[in-house]
A and B are shown apart, each in its own frame.
Chain A
Amino acid sequence: MEFPEELKYTEEHEWVLVEDDVATIGISDFAQDALGDVVFVELPEVGTVLDAGKTFGVVESVKAVSDIYAPISGEVIEINEELPDTPELINTSPYEDGWMVKIRMSNPAEAEDLMDAEAYQEFIEGEE
């Protein structure tokens, strides 16, 4: 299982890539593996304002429904248009092709509260 160093992670298993004031959000390799085959993704519309810690979408596998939580606050500026038709990208490429939304951060300092790759790996080892 991979946990890229350049990403930040949450306890709800989302990842965030921060570039300037834009954050890209997806779910981790651990999350996609636990869910199994992803068959449906519900994403917010562009322009939606996300509050950190609140749900903003849903990922469904064959067996389970899982909420996705916003790791960081901000306005959605882009969504991954490929996901409605090919939700399996979340399984095959959780950190790249399976990204979910990009937001313009309203409070970039929130990113400092997130876990780095090492802390996240320790966190999930504790969960197992």
Chain B
Amino acid sequence: MTIIGGNVLKKTPLNEVHRELGGRMVEFGGWEMPVQYRGVIEEHLAVRGAAGLFDVSHMGEIEIRGPGALEFVQQVTVNNASKLKKGQVQYSAMCYPHGGVVDDLTVYRFDEDHFLLCVNASNTDKVFAWLEEVFEEDGSADLTLRNVSDEYAQFALQGPASETILSRLTDLELGRIPSFHFYEALVAETPVIVSRTGYTGEDGFELYFAPADAEKVWNMLMDAGSEDGLIPAGLGARDTLRLEMGYPLYGHELSRDISPLEAGLGWITRLEEKDFIGRDALLRQKQEGLKQQLIGLTLTEAGVPRAGYAIYSGKIKIGEVTSGTMSPSLRVGIAMALIDPEHGAVGSPLQVQIRNRMAGALVVKPPFFRR
């Protein structure tokens, strides 16, 4: 194990491969992960124009099985999991009773009574403990809850060339997998869960399989994609890609102190369709009006907005940047920010304090990047 800052970091099965590829390793969510290989911008643009391969084995997986599984998933998540058919995936969030977010996640339905939750690496232990707490409090639910994170490696193959590349390694008819659906199939001679999902805004697949197969799957994918411009991509590009799409990242746009409604996730929060933990608090928030709101900002002058920078409307401080970057696709500064909703109308001119100057910005509705 490598020790950075006194913490023992977990390693994915690809750790040595990342180093051989020149990956710059950093701490992320308790894991040692490659932030970049040849450069964030090059990797970002490869995903937008061709394809990138990300090792995201740090992500956590939690399995819920049994006759009470659906009811339990419904209780702990804000989206309506009863709408999921077998082989479908759903983006969702988990709330505390006060409406703050435990984590955002994807919910996979394998069967009537069999679900898999894919959760953020840094939240895996917290989420699992929270689910156990809810499960034990209820006492009557007939289900098993397992943290199966160690049983899965995960890669994200993302970009317009993804389908072409993946089709070379599987008999699965990829053209028949719609977005947010998954199949279990042989890919690169390996049993893989093939999910048409991602965190980049591009077409692509998230692949789950046994950690022992990670190196083989990685190498076969890289070989299959080299002629199409596939390159390894790190967490730096993953962050700029998701930010251009306005996708939230836990710890920035979502937290215990930020509700899904405040974070712009009203579209997955099914207040009218079902009961769930946090619903009462969210209904109250909706009724009383939100105290903070997540918005998109595009800088109208040079500069790079970053997390923590203050947002002003004239002389009044109205909020803070939650994530910001120089958009590699648009070549302007973009940010998401939590502000007083009074100032959040699209088109409003605001200012971002960058060191000792005020940079002009406009409120925009993400995604920042559109094809």
Which A positions have Cβ atoms within 8 angstroms of B?
A: 36-37, 39-40, 58, 60-63, 65, 84, 91
- Chain B residues with Cβ below 8 Å from A84 are 302
* Interchain CA distance A84-B42 in the complex, whole Å: 20
* Interchain CA distance A126-B39 in the complex, whole Å: 25
Docked-complex contact A62 and B41, CB < 8 angstroms? yes
Chain B positions 313-332 with a Cβ under 8 Å from a chain A Cβ: 325-326, 328
- Does B40 count as interface, using CB distance less than 8 angstroms? yes
The SS class assigned to the B binding surface is mixed
Docked-complex contact A62 and B328, CB < 8 angstroms? yes
By beta carbon, the residue of chain B nearest A61 is: B40
Which B positions have Cβ atoms within 8 angstroms of A?
A: 24, 35-36, 39-42, 236, 240, 302-304, 306, 325-326, 328, 355
Docked-complex contact A36 and B36, CB < 8 angstroms? yes
Q: List 25 A-B contacts (CB under 8 A).
A: A36-B24, A36-B36, A36-B39, A36-B40, A37-B39, A37-B40, A37-B42, A39-B41, A39-B326, A40-B302, A40-B303, A40-B304, A40-B326, A60-B304, A60-B326, A62-B240, A62-B325, A62-B326, A62-B328, A63-B35, A63-B40, A65-B304, A65-B306, A84-B302, A91-B39
By beta carbon, the residue of chain B nearest A67 is: B355
5 interchain residue pairs of minimum CB distance: A39-B326, A62-B40, A37-B41, A60-B304, A40-B304
Docked-complex contact A58 and B355, CB < 8 angstroms? yes
- Chain A residues with Cβ below 8 Å from B355 are 58
- Chain A residues with Cβ below 8 Å from B36 are 36
- Chain B residues with Cβ below 8 Å from A39 are 41, 304, 326
* Interchain CA distance A54-B173 in the complex, whole Å: 62
By beta carbon, the residue of chain A nearest B26 is: A63
B174 CB to nearest A CB, Å:
32
Q: A36-B24, A39-B326, A40-B303 provided; 12 other pairs, C-beta below 8 A?
A: A36-B36, A36-B236, A37-B40, A37-B42, A39-B41, A39-B304, A61-B40, A62-B41, A62-B326, A63-B35, A63-B236, A65-B304
Contact A62-B306, Cβ < 8 Å, known A36-B36, A37-B39, A37-B41: no
A58 CB to nearest B CB, Å:
7
B302 CB to nearest A CB, Å:
6
* Interchain CA distance A36-B36 in the complex, whole Å: 9
- Chain B residues with Cβ below 8 Å from A61 are 40
- Chain A residues with Cβ below 8 Å from B42 are 37
- Chain B residues with Cβ below 8 Å from A40 are 302-304, 326
By beta carbon, the residue of chain B nearest A88 is: B41
B165 CB to nearest A CB, Å:
25
- Chain B residues with Cβ below 8 Å from A36 are 24, 36, 39-40, 236
* Interchain CA distance A60-B41 in the complex, whole Å: 13
B252 CB to nearest A CB, Å:
14
- Chain A residues with Cβ below 8 Å from B306 are 65
- Chain B residues with Cβ below 8 Å from A37 are 39-42
- Chain B residues with Cβ below 8 Å from A58 are 355
By beta carbon, the residue of chain B nearest A64 is: B306
B326 CB to nearest A CB, Å:
4
* Interchain CA distance A67-B306 in the complex, whole Å: 15
By beta carbon, the residue of chain A nearest B355 is: A58
- Chain B residues with Cβ below 8 Å from A60 are 304, 326
* Interchain CA distance A94-B39 in the complex, whole Å: 16
* Interchain CA distance A84-B41 in the complex, whole Å: 17
- Chain A residues with Cβ below 8 Å from B326 are 39-40, 60, 62
* Interchain CA distance A40-B359 in the complex, whole Å: 14
A79 CB to nearest B CB, Å:
14
* Interchain CA distance A39-B334 in the complex, whole Å: 13
* Interchain CA distance A37-B44 in the complex, whole Å: 12
B38 CB to nearest A CB, Å:
10
B267 CB to nearest A CB, Å:
29
* Interchain CA distance A63-B39 in the complex, whole Å: 11
A31 CB to nearest B CB, Å:
15
* Interchain CA distance A58-B354 in the complex, whole Å: 11
By beta carbon, the residue of chain B nearest A58 is: B355
By beta carbon, the residue of chain A nearest B328 is: A62
* Interchain CA distance A60-B36 in the complex, whole Å: 16
Contact A62-B236, Cβ < 8 Å, known A36-B40, A37-B40, A40-B326: yes
- Chain A residues with Cβ below 8 Å from B35 are 63
B241 CB to nearest A CB, Å:
12
* Interchain CA distance A40-B24 in the complex, whole Å: 21
- Chain B residues with Cβ below 8 Å from A63 are 35, 40, 236
B156 CB to nearest A CB, Å:
19
